[in-house]
Each structure stands twice: as structure tokens, then as C-alpha cells.
Amino acid sequence: MKILYFAWLRTRIGLGEEDVDPPSEVRTVGELIEWLKGRGPGYASAFAQASMVRAAVDQDYATPDRLLKSATEVAFFPPVTGGVGR
């Protein structure tokens, strides 16, 4: 499974993308976050505030209860700030 990180999640974790092979008991986006947190202090810091992290599964927004099933690409990022002005 390919995992992508954007904005400050990328800078805290120290990489923009990686291939991971989580154990079979990791079935949802939320469980994947918990599993990733155990991979090091950068991950723990990036995912410390769950309310500040958004996820996408195969390029569509996903909530923590979303099943990973046959997902090929999961992305984590802060709330988006596109468009114009502030």
C-alpha cells in the first residue's frame, strides 16, 4: 500500500511517500493511523492531533472508519487551504 504525506505531515515525518505493509488487523484508516504512530517520533508528532489530520483513500476523502480493503493509495494531510485569499 502506498502512503502519501502532504504539507506539515510530510515535514514532520520526513518523507512524502512510502510503501508499507501493515498487518492484517489494520482494517480501517483510523487503525492505519494508530499503526503508523508506532513507526517513530516523527509519525507520533504528525498524527498527535487527530482533528488536524484529513485522509484520502484512492484520492477520495475518507473518514477514520473507512475500510482499507483493496486500497492502493492512502494519503494524509492537514485541512485544505486552496483557492484564494485567506
Partner 1 sequence: MIRIQTEDFDPGVELALLGPGRTDIGGVASFVGLVRGGGDGVGAMTLEHYPGMTERQLDSIADEARRRWAVLDLRIVHRFGRLLPGERIVFVAVAASHRQDAFAACEFLVDWLKTKAPFWKLEDRGGSSEWVAARAEDDVRAARWEQKR
Q: What is the DSSP string of the chain?
A: -EEEE-HHHHHHHT-SEEE----TT--BHHHHHHHHHTT-HHHHHHTS-GGG-EEEETTEEE-TT-B-TT-SEEEEEPSP--SS--
- Among 59, 65, 67, 72, contact with partner 1 (rule: CB under 8 A): 59
Out of 31, 64, 71, 77, the residue judged to bind partner 1 by CB under 8 A:
77
Residue 66, all three cell numbers = 473507512
The span of 27-35, 40-48, 54-62, 64-72 binding partner 1 (CB under 8 A) equals: 54-62
Among 19, 21, 25, 60, binds partner 1 (CB under 8 A): 60
Residue 19 or 25: which CB sits closer to partner 1? 19
N-terminal to C-terminal alpha carbon distance within the chain: 35
Q: Does 7 bind partner 1 (CB under 8 A)?
A: yes
Interface ranges with partner 1 (CB under 8 A)? 4, 6-8, 56, 59-61, 75, 77-86
